[in-house]
Amino acid sequence: MASILKSLRLAADPNRLRVLLLLEQEELSVAELQEILSKGQSQMSTHLSQLKQAGLVDDRRMGKNAFYRLTASTQLMELFRQAAVEIPQAAQDQEALRLALRKRRDNMRRYFDELAGKFGRQYVPGRSWKGIAEALLKLMPPMVIADLGAGEGTLSQLMAQRAKKVIAIDNSEKMVEFGVELARKHGIANLEYRLGDLEDVPVRGGTVDLAFLSQALHHAVHPERAICEAWRILKRGGRIAILDLSRHNFEEAREMYADLWLGFTELEIERYLKAAGFKNVETAVVYREQEAPYFETMLATGEK
């Protein structure tokens, strides 16, 4: 009876109860629990130590990491699940758990990042990133693309090689003027530049196959509105692709690059996309810089 009472006392703390509910679904590392619950390492370690002493969880070592799994009885967990309805964060934890597990799977990307880092160190005739990019562009089906926050339109011009039409949107008159002249100079007839804002896109609704935002969203005053605008202009079945920085602490970016937001978390972008109405949403960190300030690039996609 004493162990049951001790278990109930421990689970009365909302954070420890959230831990138990998460571990009921998946074995998790301390770092993963920290990220899901937004808690510091010391605080999380204390909670886990108390739960382990009570026999509610157990741990195992894998290299430098400790993974925790649930050992509480089915009867206790049934009681804890009933109590969880009083904790609003418990429902949000499920979404954060799904993202954490996806990140775990995406860690395999680090291996491929290392391979990619070796790509240019050894000379192999005919192999280059430009060649690969050109090949992928040729495989892209002809479609109408809106390049939102296009700047001078470097990517717009690349995509115009294969696209049916590219509409490059930017809120800088000089950028638009420069892009128009560049497209004229190179004879790119299917590329149109328009002056406009990410949150009020000058494109008719339901007319675009792909809405593309490359390092543009962190310049939007209201990122969620920009994503809603992308949804509006897309045809049914159209897709959105966002390349942007993961959340960082490089404050100098506000002055150096006029950034309004210091990147985003995957969970934030996923929530914006789903709130706008996108389905089949996927996010992943696709590149990590090896030099300070160690920016990470996130790719997010969704379908209307």
| Ordered domains of the chain (ranges, CATH) | 2-106 (1.10.10.10), 127-303 (3.40.50.150)
Tens of pLDDT, residues 153-165 = 889 999 998 899 9
pLDDT at residue number 110:
61
Comparing 246 with 290, which gets the higher pLDDT?
246
pLDDT band at 149; cut points 50, 70, 90:
very high
Q: What is the DSSP letter of 235?
A: E
- 223's CB contacts (< 8 A; 6+ apart) are 217, 261, 264, 272
- d(CA 193, CA 206) in angstroms, rounded, equals 19
Name the token pair of 131: 């060649």
Transcribe 100-117 into DSSP letters: HHHHHHHTHHHHHHHHHH
| The pLDDT value given to residue 112 | 55
For residue 293, whether the previous peptide bond is cis, meaning omega lies within 30 degrees of 0, is yes
Q: What are the C-alpha distances in Å from 151 to residues 143, 208, 277? A: 21, 19, 27
Q: CA–CA separation, 62 vs 41, rounded Å?
A: 18
Query: Rounded to an integer, what distance in angstroms lies between the CA atom of residue 142 and that of residue 162?
Result: 6
Task: Please tell me the distance from the alpha carbon of residue 37 to that of residue 90, in angstroms, as a whole number.
Answer: 10
CA distance 198 to 257: 17
Residues 6+ apart with CB under 8 A from 200: 229
pLDDT on residue 214: 95
**Nearest-angstrom CA–CA distance, 214 and 148:** 8
The Cβ of residue 193 has, within 10 Å, a number of other Cβ atoms equal to 24
**pLDDT-derived band of residue 297, with 50, 70 and 90 as boundaries?**
very high
Position 60 confidence tier, pLDDT thresholds 50, 70, 90? confident
Q: Which residue has the higher pLDDT, 62 or 170?
A: 170
Residues 6 or more apart from 160 whose CB is under 8 A from it?
A: 166, 183, 188, 190, 191
HSE-up of residue 223 (Cα within 13 Å, Cβ side)? 21
Taking the CB of residue 110, how many other CB atoms lie within 10 A of it? Answer: 11
What is the dihedral angle through the alpha carbons of 21, 26, 31, 32, rounded to the nearest 10 degrees? -80
For residue 168, report the phi and psi dihedrals to the nearest 5 degrees.
-95, 120
Place of tokens 């089906």: 141
Radius of gyration of the chain (CA): 24
Do residues 266 and 283 touch, judged by C-beta distance below 8 A? yes
Please provide the average confidence, as pLDDT, over all residues in the chain. Answer: 89
d(CA 288, CA 114): 10
pTM greater than 0.95 (yes/no) = no
